[in-house]
Structure 1
Amino acid sequence: MLGLIRQPPQDASKLEPKLRLIVEAVKRGISDEVQAELIAGIEDSGKTYKPTGVAMEAFRQMWRQLLPDFRILCLTESPAHAAMWYHYADQYRGVVLEFRCDDHADSAWLAAKPVSYPRDKPSVYTASGWAELLTLEKELALDRILDAATYTKSPDWSYENEWRITSFRRPTDTGPFTDRKFGVEELSAVYLGPNISEKYRETIIAIASSYPTLRLINVSVGMSREFEFTATGD
């Protein structure tokens, strides 16, 4: 906060209203004596204010309240990652759905944002980061918190190459998840897992007949232990 007094930003519109008034007053010009008093007051408050514990608990409480109404759809960039098949497709017995992003159809997939995997934890999880959030308007501060919580993960998860779409529970929804429809043209391919059962395969093939542009792709593991993809019927 001291930086806002010593070097006030050109644009103070995103700051918390009371702090914005102070910054604008500083920009218009105040005496060295008044500026010194402001800085001394902030420094004195900083000696007793410990934002981390209180702020983190406030974040956890907010997240617990928000979570039942929050919806996250997780996507990945490639159907060729063994760990993803193992963890998220029933150990190679499931399927992978491939969706087409259509600019002309106002596709919901266009809202997807990539997850980042920073080596350093986001600033909202640090004392200095929370101190900065306290200077912002509540809506903007909340957006930053949600963005960090939703679109960042530790580097250990970087192999997932994940993208996410977020939304909130609709008034008619029940339970912890939401079903949303997608257009027939948006589903471009279904990859049938290497260990898929014959019964499940037949069911998927029958459903696929309702999607005229859909590609059905068999997935197998070759001698090199890499996935091989062949269209059904080949």
Structure 2
Amino acid sequence: MIDIHPELPEVLFKYTSEAGLLSILRNKSLRFSRPTRFNDLYDAKLQLSAGYDREAVISGALEKLYASISGEDQTPLVGSMGALIESMRPKFSEDSDKEQLFAELRLGLEESLDNLPDLLKKYEPEFEAHFQLSKILCLSSDGYSPPMWGNYADNLKGAAVGFTPTVEADSLFLTAKPIRYLDKRPALLDEEPLIEQLSARSKNDPDEISERIVFTKAMAWQYEAEWRIVAGHGWKPESETEQVQFHIGDLRYIVLGTRFDLEKVAEVKELMATFPNARLMYLSDDYSFIEA
């Protein structure tokens, strides 16, 4: 079952050049690419560091560990730390010295944090290689954006193709997720996930790490209003790009830029005939859409 994002837009747009539009219509497919082909140097690259307040992390982990040992919190625990906490529960009583317990646990937490930089450095090449091989389709929820028309639709000589995801068609676009825009590159671990791990409540979740890497960009790119579809390493892992077919009923709008070659319009209309729900539109000078 597809996990549909609650804020999935009614229409997702793919900005493209004239040649890109004709390719989409002829092949009924969209190009997924590796991040190495994107125009953002840091795309899908995580800052392999931990950005956190050390004392805040230790204090937070201690409180959660104490709640687990005392039985106040029955959250299932994982890993070797979880097994240790489980073994301590039978020995706990209301007379147990909380401060003494904190002092003993603190030693282990401090050691874990001391070892963290070397651990991150060790796994950096693995993380880098894995996510730089991802195949991604970039879309936008905004079809009326002047910068997007200028940057991604060949300076208004291209088009924006609008897709409406449909559940009945098991649409590819139902898997789209939005980009989070941040003031700085995200660290692999910040305070909350680090506290959760140190208190044995979670391990490194590949899906959560993927969210941080693939679905996060700098605030400077916010104008893109980007949504992404990620296909792992794709069906052809050795290729930098690959074409993925979409359901013909999902294509709803073809919006031609104000500088689109009018001699190509007839060909566009002919190719559109195979898409039952497609409507041809023109971009106006005020970046609204006009029915053809």
TM tier, smaller: 0.7 to 0.9
Using the alignment, how far apart are the partners of 2:261 and 2:250 within structure 1?
A: 26
Do the aligned partners of 1:51 and 1:130 also contact (CA within 8 Å) in 2? no
| Helix, strand or coil at the partner of 1:49 | helix
Q: 1:24 to 1:228 in 2, by over 3 A?
A: same
Q: 1:39 to 1:228 in 2, by over 3 A?
A: closer
Deviation (angstroms), 1:188 = 0.6
Deviation (angstroms), 1:21 = 0.8
| Helix, strand or coil at the partner of 1:195 | coil
Matching of residue 51 in structure 1 with residue 87 in structure 2: no
Deviations 1:157-191 (A, max 9, x none): 22222111111234545521221111111101111
Do the aligned partners of 1:193 and 1:219 also contact (CA within 8 Å) in 2? yes
Deviation (angstroms), 1:126 = 4.2
Match of 2:108 in 1: 42
Match of 1:75 in 2: 139
Q: Any unmatched runs of 5+ in structure 1?
A: none
Counterpart of 1:6, as a letter, is: Y
Deviation (angstroms), 1:204 = 2.2
Deviation (angstroms), 1:10 = 2.5
| Helix, strand or coil at the partner of 1:105 | coil
Q: 1:206 to 1:174 in 2, by over 3 A?
A: farther
Using the alignment, how far apart are the partners of 2:110 and 2:248 within structure 1?
A: 62
Using the alignment, how far apart are the partners of 1:58 and 1:160 within structure 2?
A: 34
Match of 1:94 in 2: 158
| Helix, strand or coil at the partner of 2:86 | helix
Q: 1:90 to 1:106 in 2, by over 3 A?
A: same
More helix by percentage? 1
Do the aligned partners of 1:124 and 1:133 also contact (CA within 8 Å) in 2? no
Query: Residue 5 of structure 1 is aligned with which of 65, 76, 84?
Result: 65
Match of 1:195 in 2: 259
Q: How many aligned positions are there?
A: 222
Match of 1:137 in 2: 203
Do the aligned partners of 1:115 and 1:161 also contact (CA within 8 Å) in 2? yes
Using the alignment, how far apart are the partners of 2:184 and 2:62 within structure 1?
A: 24
Counterpart of 2:82, as a letter, is: R
Counterpart of 1:24, as a letter, is: E
Counterpart of 2:249, as a letter, is: E
Match of 2:82 in 1: 20
Deviation (angstroms), 1:59 = 5.5
Do the aligned partners of 1:123 and 1:130 also contact (CA within 8 Å) in 2? no
Deviations 1:68-87 (A, max 9, x none): 53111111112100011111
| Helix, strand or coil at the partner of 1:103 | coil
Counterpart of 1:228, as a letter, is: S
Do the aligned partners of 2:163 and 2:253 also contact (CA within 8 Å) in 1? yes
Q: Any unmatched runs of 5+ in structure 2?
A: 1-60
Q: Which has the higher contact order (CA 8 A, sep 6+)?
A: 2
Deviation (angstroms), 1:154 = 2.5
Using the alignment, how far apart are the partners of 2:197 and 2:119 within structure 1?
A: 13
Match of 1:219 in 2: 283
Deviations 1:84-140 (A, max 9, x none): 1111111111111111111222112111112222457646354775575575334x2
TM-score, normalised relative to structure 2 = 0.65
Match of 2:148 in 1: 84
Using the alignment, how far apart are the partners of 1:68 and 1:151 within structure 2?
A: 13
Using the alignment, how far apart are the partners of 1:120 and 1:29 within structure 2?
A: 45
Q: 1:187 to 1:77 in 2, by over 3 A?
A: same
Do the aligned partners of 1:188 and 1:213 also contact (CA within 8 Å) in 2? yes
TM-score, normalised relative to structure 1 = 0.79
Do the aligned partners of 1:194 and 1:219 also contact (CA within 8 Å) in 2? yes
More strand by percentage? 2
